A and B are shown apart, each in its own frame.
Chain A
Amino acid sequence: MAEIVLKNIIKRFASLVAVNNLNLEIKNKEFVVLLGPSGCGKTTTLRMISGLELPDEGQILLDGEDVTFKRASQRDIAFVFQLYALYPQMTVYGNMSFPLRAQGYSKKQIDEEVNRAAELLKIKHILNKKPRELAGGDMQRVALGRALVRRPKVFLLDEPIGTLDAKFREEMRTELKRLHVDVGATTVYVTHDQVEAMSMGDKVVVMNKGVLQQVDTPQDIYRYPKNLFVANFIGSPGMNFMDCIPFKDANGKVSLKIGNIDKPLLIPDKLQKVIIDKGKVDKVIVFGVRPEDIYIEFKETNNYLKSKVFITETLGSYNIVDVKLDKYTVRVRTLPVVTPDINADAYIGFDMDRVSLFDKETENSLM
């Protein structure tokens, strides 16, 4: 059982504000991912939770107890670094039992704990091997196992799989998620990889330049990004963005003029209302749409815009067709059978229930 609360946390390194007034609640048994580019403050936040770094201002509560200035060793949390950090001279068993021996457990207790962890991680067959005999994925499992035997209140993981091959990373994402489902310990995980955040997190915390951008479930962060930064950071291939100007026609209907395209894009009442309410008629705003929310046709279609095929990327279960629309390259997700010729005319339409609009100046969502 462990709940973590961060209140108004500020951390400075000389003149740099690494973490700027962060408020965050991590519930018991939750898998929370801190996500952002390098320098966003995610690792500093993790180190403050662990006790390896002290905040300049604010408070950290662990199960209601103020641990802001408690030492790392007094917090009962396990920290797994990016690097393997195994003792090369010890066997896997030796490595995994090390934290328990250090804490004076009996031989029998140690044996039980190591076997339990090894079972969970499916590494029982390598307990007698030395680290140098292990594959990369197994080394990570052993590093995790060493954290697991202590049954800590909280797991803190700092880009633990960042250095692995793409294929291994995918396997480890599933392993880690599965482990969390089975063990159910509160986990805080740091990464710059949005796929890791989306596929493992119960909750994703997006940070940029020390400032929290959004906290939400993966589904909501994907569907309802609060600003351009989040919209751009989440999703692969990413959301398409186009500058546009909403304008009123003679009947008072609001349509969008995208780039230098003469043909107006008609939008439903709901979006018209957003634009009018936010006072954005005749002002530049940003139109955002994900590749899977764009339809493509190869003949003129009502309220579709004319574009030219730039290239098609095949991914097996789907294709990404890149089209040039005005000055923009727009990515469209299609079925694998859609393989248009380069430079062919393509007409694209948008699922208006799923598009986003952003303020050009503040970059915040208008929705």
Chain B
Amino acid sequence: MAEIKLVSLKKSFGEITAVNEIDINVKDKEFFVLLGPTGAGKTTTLRLIAGLEKPDKGDIYFDNVKVNDLGPAMRDVAFVFQYYTLYPHYTVRQNLEFPLKSNLRKTPQDIIDKKVAEVAKILHVEHLLDRQTINLSGGEMQRVAIGRAIVRTPKVFLMDEPLSNLDAKLREEMRTELARLHLDLGETFFYVTHDQIEAMTMGDRIGVLNEGVLLQTGTPDEIYNKPIDTFVARFVGSPAINLLDAEIDGKKLIIGKRDRAMQCSLNDYQCKLVGNAKSKSVILGIRPEDIIVSREKQEINSFECSIYFKQSMGVEDVLNLKVSDELIFKAVAPTKFNANIGDKVFANFMMDRSHIFDYESGKRLEI
């Protein structure tokens, strides 16, 4: 149980600034996910919190106590890594007992037994307790690794892409189990991943990191529906948001520089937004599920295009729609739409659900 506060945290390796003055407040009992591409600085941030790296600048607080000068052991965090770090020739029970038997803690055996039994039950590994870890499947090993982290009650759980080496099915299962485990334990989780689905499905809040800079912090809903810039907009959501170059023309956005093929009417709020814009050039962001495809032209913001190709997602199809060679975007359609390549259709932009970004900075326009 702990609140974590990172204040202007900075860490460089040689000329590379891995973490560039980031500020994060993780609330007590929160599941916080730090999301970003490879090399964003996620793991470095995690190691700074754990005390495995020393910051060049800035402070780290646990429950308002500065821990900068405390070593990893004194910070009382539990780490779960991408690669299971179990003792291969120990049994599952021995692996789970290990953290409790450390000289620092000296837990009595009856308490150890009780704790191990509890944890084994939570993670469904009771039947494996006397097996050597070397004989376990990947999913079982990762469960034991998580079990070893939760067997004692650390201040904070730090997790570094713990699911990324599992196959797709198991990852799905473990996602739900981790989210539920977090609720049941009521502890603070700090979780690092490059997988936006993990972030969206498990996080109470998400911090999006790129090139060492924290771009946005918010609930999954805020990150998805109010991305602060084009990077966050693109990084979260699959299929990815369409980002189309556009030009402001009074109460409209014109898309397609040469042929001005698409003229999108804006709502009152959006008119105010573009009224304040610094430049005429903007980027229109619209998610594939917010473009509705129809066979007939609709009243407003309905644009003729052809089906370039489709990508099946099973539950639905992602249609790649082509207005011209330069103007191609994605829309989601139900499989019963029966899209065929080359079909002439209409793309209906749900402009109320769109996002407008500044062309130069990529930042979301705000009033």
Contacts and interface: CB of A to CB of B under 8 A. Distances in A.
Contact of A177 (B194, B236, B309): B309
A198 B183 contact: no
B275 interface: no
B200 A218 contact: no
Nearest to A136: B38
Nearest to A235: B314
Interface stretch (A5-13, A100-108, A311-319): A311-319
Nearest to B315: A292
B314 A37 contact: no
Interface string A190-205: 0011110011100000
A170 interface: yes
Interface in A133-168: 165-167
A235 B197 contact: no
B235 A167 contact: yes
A173 B239 CA distance: 11
A88 to B, nearest CB: 20
Given A167-B235, A199-B318, A314 B201 contact: yes
Nearest to B39: A165
Interface in B269-327: 287, 289, 308-309, 311-315, 318, 320
A314 B237 CA distance: 11
Interface string A281-316: 000000000111000000000000000001101111
A233 to B, nearest CB: 8
Given A315-B197, A315-B201, A177 B220 contact: no
B363 interface: no
A226 interface: no
A234 B308 contact: no
A237 B311 CA distance: 17
Interface in B29-47: 37-38
A234 B313 CA distance: 10
Nearest to A292: B315
Contacts of B240: 167, 170-171
A181 B313 contact: no
Given A166-B196, A167-B37, A313-B179, A200 B314 contact: no
B312 A316 contact: no
6 contacts: A165-B38, A238-B169, A310-B180, A313-B175, A316-B236, A342-B183
A178 interface: yes
Contacts, number: 103
A174 B320 contact: yes
Contacts of B172: 236-238
Given A167-B234, A177-B311, A236 B168 contact: yes
Contacts of B84: none
A222 B335 CA distance: 11
Interface in B132-165: none
Contact of B315 (A167, A232, A235): A235
Contacts of B236: 316
B311 A314 contact: no
Nearest to A199: B311
A316 B180 contact: no
B335 A219 contact: yes
A329 B183 CA distance: 17
A167 B320 contact: no
Given A167-B196, A199-B318, A316-B200, A37 B167 contact: yes
Contact of B309 (A181, A193, A222): A181
B221 interface: yes
A322 B330 CA distance: 29
B334 to A, nearest CB: 10
Contact of A193 (B168, B234, B341): B168
B176 interface: yes
